[in-house]
Chains A and B, each alone.
Chain A
């Protein structure tokens, strides 16, 4: 068992070897580079679904605006005060820092969990793209409560699009990443122009005098669609905050901020949260209201912008599924010794493609995003506690590394225990991560203190 873990750890280390050393001073990047990166990364295919779901969940216009303003601010502050300071002090990726803290065995489990979650997310993006291509073939988008595929057409469509995305990903991640960079300003324009273009259909007059009236009666009117629970300001604040939980509180973005000159560069995440998330979600809300609240991103964009809109949804899905597939493949490569990258991508891609045919993943996207963040959040708490709280309480840091242990059991116990407690917390799914995070922080610190005694 120990030999097997050591072998896996060694393979895993080779994969991440290129970023093993802390980033050197000459490789640090300017703040505007971070602004551009955040602005580009946070306008994705899923934005078409998220903003639309807020409308379907009967959010009022005031709750939406205030909730998004506050929630996105909390996300920016999380990047700035939780993630960026650790990144600029260690200059390591989460992979290498977690390895020091929790041991290679637990890092391996974290990688696999991450890979599975990435595959599901990429599957949701493929499904969003399928709604656009489906218009041309008259394939009906599954109903809101659908779990299983609703037709043979939907299955064929998602499998075909997923396979195409996977083949293109195998042919060249780098070229596609370049294409994604070109795409992102245009996709952002698709959101804004799409929302503006459907305003006349909703009855907004060119002088905009009745805009607020239309917004509060026809778009965010506080009436949920049948079968959808009603969201208040709390859900909006928490959703905007935890939408990228794995990145800020979960510390995945150590990989990014290790290149920052100062921890204050975390504030540049505002370029992704406000012009990105907030504006894109508002725009997709306007678009879904204009198509009679039908959750069909392809139809929303087509009605607003015609063929360019369809291309927008397709490209948004494609360009965001691509890096997600890449990351899933990288994580999975640890359990497939000596497999070339194309083979791992193929397997991860096939799994993702099959998942994409199940509409539940994109129709329950908000819940999935909550679960995604929740699952990875305790690891962020473990790293935060080890980095900041251990020196404060004079606890020994990095025991797993010093004792060369594959597993640091307190970290594993806290991870599993926090998830179990969070599962039974009697609050809405969106609110569970915060008490869970505090539980993880305190229990990991307490457990480590007890072990020392």
Chain B
């Protein structure tokens, strides 16, 4: 359950990063607000993506 929630929240964080830049481009956000939202959403991505990836499968050995 925690993993599913982390997954959803991490994807939402990434979406927030992207949409904040679109809203800024459309002049719906001030520059300061946009950069703050982007920063908070970024931190949120790392927290939830970290929880989501815990216990995940190892990647291919390419070395």
Name A's B-contacting residues (CB within 8 A).
Answer: 18-19, 29, 33, 37, 177-178, 181-182, 185-186, 189-190, 192-194, 196-197, 199-200, 204, 206, 253, 255-256, 259, 305-308, 311, 326-327, 330
- B54 → chain A closest CB, angstroms: 9
B14 interfacial contact with A, CB 8 Å: yes
B38 touching A306, Cβ below 8 Å: yes
Give A394 to B38 CA distance when docked, in angstroms.
62
Residue of B nearest to A259 (CB): B60
A307 touching B35, Cβ below 8 Å: yes
The proximity string for B residues 29-43 relative to A, scoring 1 for CB distances below 8 Å and 0 otherwise, is: 000001110110010
- A28 → chain B closest CB, angstroms: 10
A186 touching B17, Cβ below 8 Å: yes
Give A185 to B46 CA distance when docked, in angstroms.
10
Q: Which of B18, B27, B60 contacts A37 (CB 8 A)?
A: B60
Apart from A189-B18, A196-B25, A200-B27, list 10 A-B contacts with CB within 8 A: A33-B60, A178-B53, A182-B46, A182-B50, A182-B53, A186-B17, A189-B14, A193-B17, A199-B25, A306-B36
Given the known inter-chain contacts A185-B14, A186-B17, A196-B21, please indicate yes or no for A330 contacting B46, CB distance below 8 A: no
- A254 → chain B closest CB, angstroms: 10
Mostly, the A contact residues are helix
Q: How many B residues are at the interface, by size bracket?
A: 20 to 34
Q: Which of A186, A193, A194, A256 contacts B46 (CB 8 A)?
A: A186
Given the known inter-chain contacts A29-B60, A193-B17, A330-B63, please indicate yes or no for A305 contacting B38, CB distance below 8 A: yes
Q: Which of B18, B45, B49 contacts A192 (CB 8 A)?
A: B18
- B51 → chain A closest CB, angstroms: 10
The CB with the most chain B CB atoms within 10 A, among A192, A197, A307, A311, is that of: A197
Q: Which of B20, B35, B53, B62 contacts A256 (CB 8 A)?
A: B62
Give A105 to B41 CA distance when docked, in angstroms.
52
A186 touching B25, Cβ below 8 Å: no
Question: Given the complex, which residues of A lie within 8 Å of B46, measured CB to CB?
Answer: 182, 186
A197 touching B34, Cβ below 8 Å: yes
Question: Given the complex, which residues of A lie within 8 Å of B59, measured CB to CB?
Answer: 37, 177, 181
- B55 → chain A closest CB, angstroms: 11
Question: Given the complex, which residues of A lie within 8 Å of B60, measured CB to CB?
Answer: 29, 33, 37, 256, 259
Residue of A nearest to B27 (CB): A206
Q: Which of B14, B26, B36 contacts A206 (CB 8 A)?
A: B26
B14 touching A197, Cβ below 8 Å: no
- A318 → chain B closest CB, angstroms: 13
Given the known inter-chain contacts A186-B46, A193-B17, A206-B26, please indicate yes or no for A308 contacting B63, CB distance below 8 A: no
Residue of A nearest to B11 (CB): A185
A306 touching B35, Cβ below 8 Å: yes
A189 touching B27, Cβ below 8 Å: no
Question: Given the complex, which residues of B lie within 8 Å of A197, measured CB to CB?
Answer: 21, 24-25, 34
Q: Which of B25, B35, B42 contacts A200 (CB 8 A)?
A: B25
- B62 → chain A closest CB, angstroms: 5
Q: Which of A19, A189, A199, A200 contacts B17 (CB 8 A)?
A: A189
Residue of A nearest to B19 (CB): A193
B25 touching A308, Cβ below 8 Å: no
The CB with the most chain B CB atoms within 10 A, among A259, A305, A326, is that of: A305
